[in-house]
Amino acid sequence: MAAKDRLSTYRSMRSAERTPEPVPAEGPLPAGNDDTFVIQEHHATALHWDFRLERGGVLVSWAVPKGLPTDPKRNHLAVHTEDHPMDYASFAGEIPHGEYGGGQVYQWARGTYETVKWTDREVQVVLHGGPAEIDGAKFVLFQTGGKNWMVHRMSPAPAAASGRSWAPLPELIKPMLATAGSLPPPRDDDQWAFEMKWDGIRAVVYIEGGRARAVSRNDLDVTGGYPELRALGEALGSRQVVLDGELVAFGPDGRVSFGALQQRMHVRGASQVRSLARSVPVTYLIFDVLHLDGESTLELPYDERRALLEGLGLAGARWATPPVFVGGGADAMAVSKAQGLEGVVAKKRDSTYDPGRRSGCWVKVKHFLTQEVVLAGWKPGEGRRRGGIGSLVLGVYGDEGLTYVGNVGTGFTAAALADLERTLAPLEQAQSPFDVEVPKTHAKDVHWISPTLVGEVEFGNWTRDGRLRHPSWRGLRPDKRAEEVRVEPQGNG
């Protein structure tokens, strides 16, 4: 077949004056051994990997959105694209935006391959060269319809091939939780690591094929609300990783601000999310790695998981791996106080990760008391708040069900009150949601609501009759389930 036929589509989509990509003149195709392969990481409109195999003087090409699979049980989509010239095997660089395929192109792997089978609908090859996960591996590409193909790994998973156990990327790992308490005694200080207690939303982030998926503590997919995570997924490229961390926002003073984060926590509309991501950006602070490239790390001790996490070098515009204090609990507390943070989380250095469990191996030590609360109703305000919310009626679940623990009427901004009025209006109901009867003086004039929302308050202490003393509103917690809210042991930290 003439050279112009094999590359005519490629040439029609590019101009040598506008792109650094090779655009060869028409003419005979180069003679080769039909054994060169190249994989290029392509950060275009959507991240993908271009898999190219030399055949008949051109590079036959597929765009693979998630890269070549490492798990033989999971096939990946491969979209057949136009043939590329052989010179493209060494191309890397920036394709100008506005041009076809605009974005950065990196060389991800290059080597040789053996042809096992090649037909118009099926291609089987064994790759030689590139990263360990593909070197020596056998893949088959098969057509499923039109330009759509699938790529299947015929060789064992990389970990299995080296004698290690292979674990596919899990769908869900519930985050490990901390108990409230005090700093470990000084004599045990070196057995603990101390991390800052960040004032944000807990999120476990799953990364595969350059895509990030974020899940909150109550198992909700919150990816759409935090587009900042897209770049983190792209930065990790083809790696399979599960990370644990906290989504935080910063106030005008540069400190972590739960109030600023409130503006992002309830928004899911794409246009509003994009706007808020510019005005109130969120940063993902990463403190643990739970799965890495086909291996679960849950059974590894904290020190080993921390070493793996630091080895990933996760530092970007909207993500970071904050430092940890190994020993020195009192110093860590002093730093957290100077930064205006809640306190620290002390983690036993030899402890494993216990998904979904509240463990004494993680201890949160606070500078001030906080409590999650269930919103059960509201009382009308007076003066400037006349006609709106004056205070929120709060409850906590105990042995007898939902129990009244007081009202909160301070700590609100005007914007927070307006948002609460819109949020609570459709939840109103005639009957009290409490399982334990509320004293009549506290129940008077209350607008009861369905007890589905969780908030958080800061307070002085608990009274003898189980009420919050001097509570101040901190914000809603959409990442928490109402039925899980219990009185939190406060310790003496």
Q: Which of 197, 348, 366, 480 is the catalytic position?
A: 197
Please tell me the number of Cα atoms within 13 Å of 284 on its side-chain side.
29
Which spans in 320-457 are helix H? Answer: 329-338, 414-424, 440-443
Asked whether 436 and 452 are in contact (CB, 8 A), the reply is no
Rounded distance between C-alpha atoms, residue 275 and residue 350, angstroms: 43
Q: Is 384 exposed, middle or buried (0-12, 13-18, 19+ CB in 10 A)?
A: exposed
Query: Using CA atoms, how far apart are residues 134 and 54, in angstroms rounded to an integer?
Result: 17
Instruction: Give all strands (DSSP E) within 3-154, no chain letters.
Output: 36-43, 47-55, 58-64, 76-85, 93-95, 103-118, 122-128, 138-145, 148-153
**Tokens matching residue 218:** 């109550």
Alpha-helical (H) ranges within 317-395 are 329-338
Q: Quick one: tokens of 237?
A: 């490229």
Query: What is the rounded distance in angstroms from the CA atom of residue 374 to the CA atom of residue 442?
Result: 16
CA distance 246 to 175: 11
- The answer to whether residues 406 and 371 touch, using CB atoms and an 8 Å cutoff, is no
Task: Please tell me the total number of residues recorded for the chain in this structure.
Answer: 493
| DSSP 3-state of 87 | helix
Using an 8 Å Cβ cutoff, are 87 and 25 in contact?
no
324/366 Cα distance (integer angstroms): 17
- The encoded tokens of residue 122 equal 């099926």
C-alpha to C-alpha distance for 87 and 24, rounded to whole angstroms: 8
Chain position carrying tokens 């204090």: 325
What distance in Å separates the CA atoms of residue 240 and residue 209, rounded to the nearest whole number? 7
Q: Is the dihedral of CA 87, 93, 96, 102 positive or negative?
A: positive
Does the annotation mark 197 as catalytic? Answer: yes
Tell me how crowded residue 278 is: count the other CB atoms within 10 A of its CB.
Answer: 7
- Active centre residues (catalytic): 197
